[in-house]
Homo-oligomer: A and B are copies of this chain.
Amino acid sequence: MKSGRLEAFSDGVLAIVITIMVLEMKAPEDTSFEGLLTVLPTFTSYLLSFIYLGIYWNNHHHLMQATEKVNGAILWANLHLLFWLSLIPFATSWLGENHTASLPVALYGFILLMSAIAYRILEIALIKHHGKQHLLQKAINKGKKEIISTLSYVISIPLAFLNSWLSLACIVFVAILWIVPERNLENLLKEKTP
């Protein structure tokens, strides 16, 4: 099986997930600057989630670039990832309304952790199907970024109940870490197709 339709469906779901979050930003009743400022917490949550979904789309794009074939296990691993990502709008909406409350921050961290695990499962399913010698294997297991991210998510969850701002700082830190594009995989792909 070709990977084209899996990409198209993932693109569709990610495009919708990234966009429907904006529906949470309700136009304020008041047309003053104070009115506009009431949208600020929702806006910052939206910005954070937009960046996270952008990172996932970006990495998914890189991963699929190196993918040639797809099987049933990969289709389900991909749907599993999309499921956790589809919960981001819910977590974003709750976070946007309660920036300083512990549980919304912890839930946000938890959903990011589950998404990271789901992404890892997808990677494993892809490697299993393509063989250990394949380019994919070389490209995926390079980074320490995955380990640092996962640790940060794990820490952010209990931390939210101690200090929600520190917990959010963990989450923002991971986002910044990932905005730097995945040079390794890109370079490897360049070597492959000179």
Partner-B contacts on A (CB < 8 A): 1, 5-9, 11-20, 22-23, 25-28, 31-33, 35-36, 39, 47, 50, 54, 57-58, 61, 64-65, 71-73, 75-76, 79, 82-83, 86-87, 89-90, 93-94, 96-98, 101-104, 107, 179, 181-183, 186, 189
Contacts and interface: CB of A to CB of B under 8 A. Distances in A.
6 contacts: A1-B186, A17-B19, A18-B86, A31-B98, A31-B101, A33-B103
Nearest to A16: B19
A50 B15 CA distance: 17
Nearest to A26: B93
Contact of A20 (B5, B20, B57, B182): B20
Copies of this chain per assembly: 4
A83 B12 CA distance: 16
Nearest to A70: B61
A122 to B, nearest CB: 14
